[in-house]
């Protein structure tokens, strides 16, 4: 008799096809999140606050309670939602434009208040859905549709490091940067997500997991090339690791 | 009868909200509505409610949205330029069918304006409190007792239609004090039952289907934007029959009709009394809701007898008067009595405008 | 019958408390209608503070009037600002201890109250507003004097009961001045 060793995680709708581009790590992040929730027995008790941008594509994909947020406001909405429903496991699912640009105030303020929910932050260094504009996390020199001559420090500033920024605050309980650009890192990523959720279940406060992700479409690379780019270039700017686990 | 209490408008609204089962409030400091968040900050912990001072007007309104998505009776308040910042969330509340009560204690404008009372946000409140062409029920009290009664009603209406409802106050009704009789508070069981009745609220699936609080169809292909908007358009249309609310005072034989809403409404009413004392047959039309606009009140008038209508409001340029003009369509003359920039409209202006019609 | 008041002075002179004593008394001890409206500026300290009180047998129409029946001026800036905000044949109450400006309104009555000096004499400069309140009540009889005094004990004495005797003495001194002015006018 054959044993089924690989299956679609519970929490992802049967039969749906992801709206994410081929090779985009958003799919893997969704899968990791669902597996972590499933392992913690929290799939049925979860509610996620959906950001705007590519992260919003997850809505057709994730079979769990959902509150859609205006662009950048996920952390404000998750704050009030969680305080009104402390028994529900709450996480936001946001990209870098959403979380670090238009939603920077909401992100930092929720972190500073130590709100007891989890942020899943997918950082691909670009605005994906709108066609590849510069994000706060775009690397210096990178050409985007709004930095056609490359991002330069004098005009655009340097990439923003959200884990490091949040790590300046007193309240946050758990801060980690991970990636699923390779299998060993994907395993570590899942452990980090589990840990973040566990922190929330224990009422320890704000937990933040940043995924260094890719955008083959807007980077103009094949999926494999984009993974190499993550390893060779992006991770030098955005080093992985656990910044805080208090 | 319950005891009358001498209360400030902001606090009367906040206390009534708590009694109506409001268990979430988020706000941001802005004059002249600071007594609202300050009151909730003291009061919410006493009823196991949640108060958050948001990092911005934008965040506060979105927090109110988040609490409503969890099924809790939820409120936010601000003043004029702060309401502009909240317009993003208000539009989302309308799109996502979330019941939230929003109070606007109007001050001067445009922009930051003066901190003193005004009624400069009429068009914003009744026509476009955000993008997307949605409409809201807009209640506007003239007295603090009305503010209390309307706050209670606002929560009921928000839940009834699962839509945001606006309480259009002004810096005057927010900061003045007047005796009020407060409603008996809902019991904790009733508050819990109201929340439980919102079966659409997100709470985790718990064996059931997914709860999705979404603004518009999003990526859901089962319903189109047009279908959703048609459903809302029908609702807004039905309000013109079911939700119109206004006060008529001495209009039966009136030759002059004074019309005004909110704080100006009570000033206008007393002006009508003074005109009557002078022998002028004056009457009053005072909308209690400024949306939907009380067209019926004006259609009923005997235009053959009427010498004209005085529209009084604390807005320059006139805004409310435009809606009156659109209903009256030239059947009688319209004059305005206006103030702005923190100057509360004086009764004398209304009297003068009315007398000009008698000449 | 409807009576409107504007009370004005420096922040810290107890202008708002005066208006509130009248308002609370009307609300809590009579069947009258009452409104109180504080006029505020952006400054947290200093500047001119003033409030509007309307006490009426019928529902109050305008809680803020440009022309009041009674204007109470505790300092010169208030006199300069509000001397023309009183109706013809109305009355201006003046804290004559510090107000030097003459209203130059032959059509209005003037009640001079040396409130600042009386307050100092009684041992508490802060009870100036009670002296003025007493004068207003003695002159206008808009509310029963004992009720206003009870409100003062309730609202001001709650935290500082030791001030009750001084506040009462201040109120009664003011009341005598107000009543004398009323009799003189009659």
One domain for residues B33 and B114: yes
Residue of C nearest to B180 (CA): C27
Q: Give tens-digit pLDDT for B302-342.
A: 999 999 999 999 999 999 999 999 999 999 999 999 998 77
pLDDT at A223 over 70: yes
B and C: number of Cβ contacts within 8 A: 61
Q: Give tens-digit pLDDT for A182-208.
A: 999 999 999 999 999 999 999 999 999
Q: Is B203 within a domain?
A: no
CB atoms within 10 A of CB B326: 11
CB contact under 8 A, C27 and B32: no
pLDDT at A52 over 90: yes
Q: In 3D, which of B146, B194, B188 has the Cα closest to residue B167?
A: B146
Summarize the confidence of residues C156-179 as an average pLDDT.
95
Q: In 3D, which of B232, B224, B211, B223 has the Cα closest to residue B134?
A: B232
Q: Is B70 within a domain?
A: yes
Tell me whether B186 touches chain A (CB under 8 Å). no
Question: How far away is chain B from the Cα of C67, in angstroms, using its nearest Cα?
Answer: 9
pLDDT of residue A18: 81
Q: Is B39 within a domain?
A: yes
pLDDT of residue B221: 65
pLDDT of residue C13: 85
**pLDDT band at residue C44 under the 50/70/90 scheme:** low
Q: Give tens-digit pLDDT for B188-228.
A: 999 999 999 999 999 999 999 999 999 877 666 678 889 99
Q: Give tens-digit pLDDT for A125-144.
A: 999 999 999 999 999 999 99
Q: Give the Cα separation of C152 and C121 in Å (integer).
A: 20
pLDDT at B1 over 80: no
- CB-based touch C/A (3+ pairs, under 8 A): no
Of residues B220 and A164, more confidence is placed in A164
pLDDT of residue B218: 66
Q: Is B230 within a domain?
A: no
Q: Give the Cα separation of B14 and C19 in Å (integer).
A: 23
CB contact under 8 A, B6 and C40: no
pLDDT of residue C84: 96
- CB-based touch B/C (3+ pairs, under 8 A): yes
Q: Give the Cα separation of B164 and B98 in Å (integer).
A: 6
- Note down the domain range covering C129: 2-185
Provide the domain count of chain B.
2
Enter the ipTM.
0.96
Q: In 3D, which of A166, A170, A50 has the Cα closest to residue A108?
A: A166
Tell me whether B59 touches chain A (CB under 8 Å). yes
pLDDT at A23 over 60: yes
pLDDT at A1 over 80: no
Residue of A nearest to B64 (CA): A80
Residue of C nearest to B31 (CA): C42
pLDDT of residue B26: 98
One domain for residues B181 and B275: no
Q: What is the CATH number of the domain that holds C94?
A: 3.40.920.10
Q: Give tens-digit pLDDT for B95-136.
A: 999 999 999 999 999 999 988 899 999 999 999 999 999 999
- Chain B residues with beta carbon closer than 8 angstroms to that of A13: none
pLDDT of residue B205: 95
CB contact under 8 A, C20 and B177: yes
Q: Are B106 and B170 in contact (CB under 8 A)?
A: yes
pLDDT of residue B116: 87
- Secondary structure, 3-state, B195-258: HHHCCCCCCCCCCCCCCEECCCCCCCCCCCHHHHHHHHHHHHHHHHHHCCCEEEECCCCCCEEE
Tell me whether B105 touches chain A (CB under 8 Å). no
Summarize the confidence of residues C79-86 as an average pLDDT.
95
Provide the domain count of chain C.
1
Q: In 3D, which of B59, B62, B102, B108 has the Cα closest to residue B83?
A: B102
CB contact under 8 A, C61 and B271: yes
CB contact under 8 A, B4 and C61: no
CB contact under 8 A, A84 and B23: yes
Which residues, at least 6 apart from A46, have a Cβ–Cβ distance to it below 8 Å?
A11, A37, A64, A65, A88, A89, A90, A91, B204
Summarize the confidence of residues B288-303 as an average pLDDT.
97
- Note down the domain range covering B337: 247-358
**pLDDT band at residue A6 under the 50/70/90 scheme:** confident
Q: What is the CATH number of the domain that holds B96?
A: 3.40.50.970
- Chain A residues with beta carbon closer than 8 angstroms to that of B59: 73, 76, 105-106, 109
Q: In 3D, which of C59, A81, C66, A22 has the Cα closest to residue B64?
A: A81
Question: How far away is chain B from the Cα of C19, in angstroms, using its nearest Cα?
Answer: 11
Q: Give tens-digit pLDDT for B237-287.
A: 999 999 999 999 999 999 999 999 999 999 999 999 999 999 999 999 999
Q: Is B207 within a domain?
A: no
**pLDDT band at residue A231 under the 50/70/90 scheme:** very high
Residue of B nearest to A115 (CA): B52
CB contact under 8 A, C61 and B273: yes
pLDDT of residue B354: 96
State the Rg of chain C over Cα. 15
Percent of chain B with pLDDT over 90: 92
Facing residue for B218 by CB, picked from A68, A73, A81 = A68
- Chain A residues with beta carbon closer than 8 angstroms to that of B74: 80
Peptide bond into B292 cis (omega under 30): yes
Q: Give tens-digit pLDDT for B14-34.
A: 999 999 999 999 999 999 999
Percent of chain B with pLDDT over 70: 99
Tell me whether B266 touches chain C (CB under 8 Å). yes
Q: Is B225 within a domain?
A: no
Q: Is B212 within a domain?
A: no
pLDDT at A16 over 90: no
pLDDT of residue B52: 98
Question: How far away is chain B from the Cα of C161, in angstroms, using its nearest Cα?
Answer: 22
- Chain B residues with beta carbon closer than 8 angstroms to that of A53: none
Chain C neighbours, 3+ Cβ pairs < 8 A: B
CB contact under 8 A, C60 and B270: yes
pLDDT of residue C83: 95
CB contact under 8 A, A45 and B62: no
**pLDDT band at residue C107 under the 50/70/90 scheme:** very high
Note the CATH number of domain A26-245.
3.40.50.970
Q: Give the Cα separation of C111 and A241 in Å (integer).
A: 79
pLDDT of residue C40: 67
- Chain B residues with beta carbon closer than 8 angstroms to that of C55: none
pLDDT of residue B343: 76
- Chain B residues with beta carbon closer than 8 angstroms to that of C30: none
Facing residue for B347 by CB, picked from C36, C40, C62 = C62
One domain for residues B192 and B266: no
Mutation choice for B interface testing from A59, A63, A67 by most B CBs within 10 A = A67
Summarize the confidence of residues A60-76 as an average pLDDT.
95
Tell me whether B353 touches chain A (CB under 8 Å). no
Summarize the confidence of residues C112-139 as an average pLDDT.
96
**pLDDT band at residue A235 under the 50/70/90 scheme:** very high
Residue of A nearest to B49 (CA): A84
Question: How far away is chain A from the Cα of B11, in angstroms, using its nearest Cα?
Answer: 22
Chain B neighbours, 3+ Cβ pairs < 8 A: A, C
Q: Give tens-digit pLDDT for C134-154.
A: 999 999 999 999 999 999 999
- Chain A residues with beta carbon closer than 8 angstroms to that of B70: 80-81, 84-85, 88
Using CA atoms of B241, B244, B249, B255 in order, give the dihedral in degrees to the nearest 10: -60
- Chain A residues with beta carbon closer than 8 angstroms to that of B204: 44-47, 64-65, 88-89
pLDDT of residue C12: 80
Summarize the confidence of residues B73-87 as an average pLDDT.
98
Backbone angles phi, psi at B52, to 5 degrees: -130, 130
**Chain B from 107 to 126: CB within 8 A of any C CB:** 115
Q: In 3D, which of A66, A10, A4 has the Cα closest to residue A36?
A: A10
Chain A neighbours, 3+ Cβ pairs < 8 A: B
Summarize the confidence of residues B39-43 as an average pLDDT.
98
């Amino acid at each position: 008799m054959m044993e089924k060793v690989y299956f679609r995680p519970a929490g992802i709708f049967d039969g749906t096809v992801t709206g994410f581009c081929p090779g985009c790590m958003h799919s893997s992040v969704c899968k990791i999140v669902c597996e972590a929730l499933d392992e913690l027995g929290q799939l049925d008790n979860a509610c996620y606050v959906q950001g705007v941008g590519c992260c919003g594509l997850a809505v057709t994909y994730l079979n769990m309670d959902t509150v859609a947020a205006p662009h950048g406001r996920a952390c404000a909405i998750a704050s009030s939602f969680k305080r009104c429903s402390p028994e529900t496991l709450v996480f936001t699912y946001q990209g870098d434009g959403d979380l670090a640009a238009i939603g920077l105030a909401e992100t930092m303020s929720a972190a500073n208040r130590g709100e007891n929910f989890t942020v899943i932050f997918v950082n691909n260094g670009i605005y994906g859905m709108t066609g590849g504009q510069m994000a706060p996390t775009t690397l210096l020199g990178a050409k985007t549709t709004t930095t056609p001559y490359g991002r330069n420090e004098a005009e655009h500033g340097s990439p923003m490091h959200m884990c490091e920024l949040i790590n300046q605050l007193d309240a946050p309980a758990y801060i980690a940067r991970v990636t699923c650009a390779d299998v060993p890192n994907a395993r570590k990523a899942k452990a980090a997500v589990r840990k973040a959720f566990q922190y929330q279940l224990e009422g320890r406060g704000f937990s933040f997991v940043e995924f260094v992700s890719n955008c083959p479409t807007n980077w103009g690379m094949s999926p494999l090339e984009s993974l190499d780019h993550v390893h060779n270039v992006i991770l030098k700017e955005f080093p992985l690791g656990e910044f805080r686990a208090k | 009868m319950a005891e009358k209490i001498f209360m400030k408008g902001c606090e009367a609204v906040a206390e009534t909200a708590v009694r109506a089962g409001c268990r979430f409030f988020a706000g941001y400091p802005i004059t002249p509505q600071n007594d609202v968040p300050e009151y909730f900050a003291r009061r919410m912990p006493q009823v196991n409610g949640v108060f958050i001072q948001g990092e911005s007007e934008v965040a506060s309104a979105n927090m109110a949205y988040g609490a409503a998505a969890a099924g809790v009776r939820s409120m936010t308040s601000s003043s004029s330029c702060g309401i502009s910042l909240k317009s993003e969330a208000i539009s989302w509340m309308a799109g996502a069918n979330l019941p939230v009560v929003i109070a606007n204690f109007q001050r001067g404008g445009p922009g930051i304006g003066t901190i003193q009372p005004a009624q400069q946000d009429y068009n914003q409140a009744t026509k476009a409190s955000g993008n997307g062409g949605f409409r809201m029920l807009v209640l506007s009290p003239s007295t603090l007792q009305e503010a209390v009664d309307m706050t209670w009603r606002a929560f009921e209406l928000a839940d009834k239609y699962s839509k945001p409802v606006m309480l259009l106050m002004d810096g005057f009704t927010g900061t003045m004090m007047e005796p009020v009789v407060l409603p008996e508070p809902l019991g904790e069981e009733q508050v819990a039952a109201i929340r439980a009745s919102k079966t659409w609220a997100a709470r985790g699936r718990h064996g059931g289907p997914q709860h999705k609080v979404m603004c518009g169809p999003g990526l859901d292909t089962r319903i189109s934007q047009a279908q959703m908007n048609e459903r809302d358009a029908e609702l807004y249309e039905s309000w013109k029959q079911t939700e119109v609310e206004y006060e008529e005072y001495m209009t039966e034989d009136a030759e002059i009709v004074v019309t005004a809403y909110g704080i100006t409404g009570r000033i206008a009413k007393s002006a009508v009394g003074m005109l009557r004392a002078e022998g002028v047959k004056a009457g009053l039309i005072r909308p209690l809701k400024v949306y939907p606009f009380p067209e019926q009140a004006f259609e009923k008038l005997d235009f053959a007898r009427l010498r004209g209508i005085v529209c009084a409001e604390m807005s320059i340029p006139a805004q409310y008067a435009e809606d009156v003009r659109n209903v009256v369509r030239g059947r009688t003359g319209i004059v305005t009595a206006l103030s702005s920039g923190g100057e509360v409209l004086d009764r004398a202006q209304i009297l003068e405008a009315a007398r000009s019609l008698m000449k | 019958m409807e009576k409107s008041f504007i009370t004005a002075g420096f922040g810290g002179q107890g202008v708002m408390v005066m208006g509130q004593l009248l308002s609370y008394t009307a609300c809590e001890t009579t069947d009258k209608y009452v409104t109180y409206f504080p006029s505020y500026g952006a400054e947290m300290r200093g500047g001119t503070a003033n409030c509007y009180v309307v006490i009426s047998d019928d529902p109050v129409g305008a809680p803020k009037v440009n022309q009041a029946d009674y204007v109470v001026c505790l300092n010169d800036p208030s006199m300069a600002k509000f001397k023309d905000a009183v109706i013809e044949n109305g009355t201006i109450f003046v804290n004559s201890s510090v107000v030097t400006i003459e209203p130059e309104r032959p059509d209005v009555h003037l009640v001079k109250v040396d409130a600042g000096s009386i307050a100092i004499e009684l041992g508490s400069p802060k009870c100036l507003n009670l002296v003025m309140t007493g004068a207003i009540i003695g002159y206008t009889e808009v509310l029963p004097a004992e009720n206003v005094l009870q409100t003062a004990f309730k609202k001001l004495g709650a935290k500082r009961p030791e001030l009750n005797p001084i506040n009462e003495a201040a109120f009664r001194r003011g009341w005598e001045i107000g009543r004398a002015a009323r009799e003189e006018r009659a």
